């Protein structure tokens, strides 16, 4: 069962040993499949999301299968705003976040050193955040609502002053 209790997810994980990798990978794949079967498909899952405080996560994105084992991001390029980030531990919550479009990863398994871009880079950053106890609400960009004054242009885009348009 995927954990949704925020306090239980805020754990810093320990390295996973080589003799733990196979059984943990099987558990993660099983939970990711079960989640999809229950109507909540995901593309990645980290060990703390199933109650195991180990530095391992899996990613299953289209035909890409990556097992992140004691992985670290060593370089980050091209910071961007990513719209539409979700998490199986926060069902239904979709946020805007700051991520990097390209990252270089050192992984404890094959491939041991690789570059990820685009959606794959976002998913890796998300899953590795879980291993540090960093969760979706922590990376969410909160929109700051600007107060509209009467003589400001109306936010509806009419070109009129707010007091003569939507502010009536």
Which residues participate in catalysis according to the annotation?
Answer: 127
Give the number of residues written for the chain. Answer: 168
- CB-based burial of residue 85 (10 Å sphere; 0-12 exposed, 13-18 middle, 19+ buried)? buried
- Rounded (5°) CA angle 139-145-146: 135
- CB-based burial of residue 113 (10 Å sphere; 0-12 exposed, 13-18 middle, 19+ buried)? exposed
């Amino acid at each position: 069962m995927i954990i949704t209790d925020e306090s239980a997810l805020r754990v810093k994980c320990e390295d996973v040993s080589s003799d733990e990798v196979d059984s943990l990978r099987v558990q993660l794949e099983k939970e990711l499949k079960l989640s999809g079967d229950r109507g909540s498909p995901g593309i990645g899952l980290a060990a703390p999301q199933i109650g195991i405080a180990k530095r391992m996560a899996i990613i299953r994105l289209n035909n890409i299968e990556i097992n992140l084992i004691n992985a670290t991001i060593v370089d980050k390029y091209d910071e961007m705003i990513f719209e539409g980030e979700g998490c199986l531990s926060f069902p239904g919550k979709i946020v805007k976040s700051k991520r990097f479009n390209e990252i270089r990863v050192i992984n404890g398994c094959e491939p041991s050193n690789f570059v990820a871009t685009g959606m794959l880079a976002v998913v890796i950053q998300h899953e590795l955040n879980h291993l540090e106890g960093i969760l979706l609400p922590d990376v969410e960009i909160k929109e700051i609502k600007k107060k509209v004054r009467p003589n400001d242009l109306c936010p509806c885009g009419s070109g009129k002053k707010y007091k003569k348009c939507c502010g009536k």
